[in-house]
Chains A and B, each alone.
Chain A
């Protein structure tokens, strides 16, 4: 009875081809909007792509924007896998980055090989605590994580804003003093002169390692197996002797810790201090990144690259189109991708006269 699967039914096609098609289509729709504001879409796109991908400086800027998106995307993705919707990456990354800056400003004189891991750990712990709280509340009281993470975002923002502007700030600024120089993560341009001037730094390697970690954890380890069971069928998990509550807490904590690593890019790799308002909604973009990346860690990297490009691309086409247009383009990408799963798959598959995978017993 076995038969060769149609190419559309391979998971590679489904997980890769469909999102790519969604992105292409959304650019097409974006072109209409560009035309509406009276610009030539081809010209605008040309500038967009050539300035972001066409030279090392542009690539550097793009990668700099990509790094925090990877962390945030991974944070949302791992929670998704456990069946939790983490809207709180923004708050988690604020706390994490602030913790990094705080530890960094009090640890002068520590050698780099200790200082760097120490500051990374500070981010992990800070974000982790902020993820642990809603995870714990969910597991012990059933309080919905969506509400709690949203609320904790407000709390986190207010907290760091207060401390960064009133208590730990350099007078008359909204940022903290610099971290110890040994805690700095080197920029690319120290080694490759082509990146001169762009803030991209080696924290992107931490992001890639984090993605590999998440993949390995979810796909290959026993706790990862348990986490997936909990996400897909909590009742079966219970029956399989899996501690559901512990897994909910654990996944939110890991998610928070991943978001907390955002500080490696900004605090350790760029400004060397924490500044109020440093994140422009990265945590929320993480939701879109995770969706576009299909909650797959490597998909998250690709999606983060795309959104990183859009974010920086928004700046380069700033003079040609209103900056709102870039927001529109990002929104269109997200809408297309989210809808694509069902719509594209169905139409494509029907079009190819094959069998649907939809299940209904």
Chain B
């Protein structure tokens, strides 16, 4: 078997962690190779080392049987390697076309021959069924399309090895299916693909071979058809894992959050939320299913007081929150896990302990007369780090250096520590590994069982289905359907989510 990539004995250390510990990995040419492992296992680091962002402390890289020195992404691009990062690296204000050619412009002439270039790109896109609107600005596109732009960008640079770092974390099920179609197509045409993911069904569905990483080492490597999600999960976590969510029946009480006739028109005059009505009772989890961009973000921003709705009421335990400043909304008994952890949830240059009091920093326990109580802040951090298994277990670690999943745990820990009546969780396990997801799910359910009301917004249908007690579907700013339980088929949900079914507001009251 011929290998496209051979990583031999790669070791990469950061300040205090060995991110990759003598890793050897071979990827056959023309195959799809899945790379899985817990948060912080070192997957991204390994691939970014291959891509030239990091220099390994030791180890060799061979591409198509020749040893190469990769000192920068330019080197790896020259070797035919392309990478789609966990966080996209596109320039939002430029058009798709400009983004694709950025840094790889045809410099033979002083002027860009955009017409010809765009023809070339269109041909390339057609070849792999990657349709993208070339002249639109990236900022106006959904994540699914942005991702196709990233892939096209790599192909335009003549990549024949493509690394995708958690590509489906931000996609809807439909978009994921589409992405996999593209990946199969690419494989057909002889490209080699490395796919990092936390979703084991995806591994089973599309990969030829799978490598499992744990704590910087490769702990297992199997041909996909010979293994099972259960086996992979056990290898990843080092103990048997429950792949299902276990929860008892909801013990529903009085409504905690009631939203009535909520509408929101944004600054450009677009009606984003249209007469939304629903309520969440204590002791239940209401899941909101929907394709991203149908108003979920704005719904949450209205509830948390970040934007002011145009009309309607949002009442929490009978108090109308509309018009309250953010702080007062939170003080009224709300906890919120924001969908974009880097943008809203964390101050990445702060330490973990400083992040763990963000928004709670005015509480008396953290303040003495003149200064903040450092011992209390430290203690709070130690307690939460232990309870939520944040790694590294160091209150003084800078948040930026934590892996994505651990950053998420910091936020979850902080928000649940508010002990609020209502928990609004947006994409609570996005990018979080199996063990972490299991843990976060259990934490949310245990809050529910303590009588909290939970509003869950997630693009991950499996998550919505397994966690929710009731499911509301949002489409085009409307709640088009509320299912009284979670016994719904994914395909049925999908029909409502895409607006095929339920356009008449059949369930405006819950």
Contacts and interface: CB of A to CB of B under 8 A. Distances in A.
Q: Do A and B come from one complex?
A: yes
B87 A1 contact: no
A116 B426 CA distance: 57
Nearest to A233: B347
Given A1-B215, A225-B361, A239 B371 contact: no
A236 B361 contact: no
A222 B362 contact: yes
Contact of B358 (A240, A355, A360): A240
Contact of A2 (B57, B87, B344, B392): B392
B371 A221 contact: yes
Interface stretch (A3-11, A69-77, A97-105, A181-189): A3-11
Contacts of B44: 361
Interface in B9-56: 12-18, 44, 48, 53-54
Interface residues of B, number: 51
B372 interface: yes
Contacts of B304: 239
A59 to B, nearest CB: 34
B349 interface: yes
B371 A220 contact: yes
Interface string A154-170: 00000000000000000
The secondary structure that dominates the B interface is loop
Interface in B79-94: 85-87
Contacts of A3: 13, 15-18
B216 interface: yes
A228 B347 CA distance: 9
Contact of A239 (B216, B306, B367, B394): B306
A228 B351 CA distance: 12
B348 interface: yes
Interface in A216-248: 216, 220-222, 225-226, 228-229, 232-233, 235-236, 238-243
B144 interface: no
A114 interface: no
B343 A1 contact: no
A172 interface: no
A349 to B, nearest CB: 11
B15 A221 contact: no
B286 interface: no
A222 B14 contact: no
A242 B13 CA distance: 37
Given A240-B358, A360-B48, A361-B404, A229 B17 contact: no
B341 to A, nearest CB: 10
B345 interface: yes
Nearest to B345: A236
A239 to B, nearest CB: 5
Q: Which of B216, B349, B358, B361 has the most CB of A within 10 A?
A: B358
Given A216-B371, A240-B361, A241-B327, A235 B344 contact: yes
A239 B57 contact: no
Contacts of B216: 1
A2 B404 contact: no
B15 A9 contact: yes
B346 A236 contact: yes
A361 B415 CA distance: 24
A235 B301 CA distance: 12
Q: Which of A6, A222, A240 has the most CB of B within 10 A?
A: A240
A357 interface: yes
B330 interface: yes
A241 to B, nearest CB: 3
Contact of B15 (A235, A240, A355, A360): A355
Contacts of B87: 361
Nearest to A360: B53
17 contacts: A1-B16, A1-B392, A3-B13, A4-B16, A5-B15, A221-B370, A222-B366, A226-B361, A228-B350, A232-B347, A235-B343, A235-B344, A241-B327, A242-B327, A355-B15, A356-B54, A361-B85
Given A3-B17, A241-B330, 6 more contacts: A5-B16, A222-B361, A225-B354, A233-B347, A241-B359, A355-B13
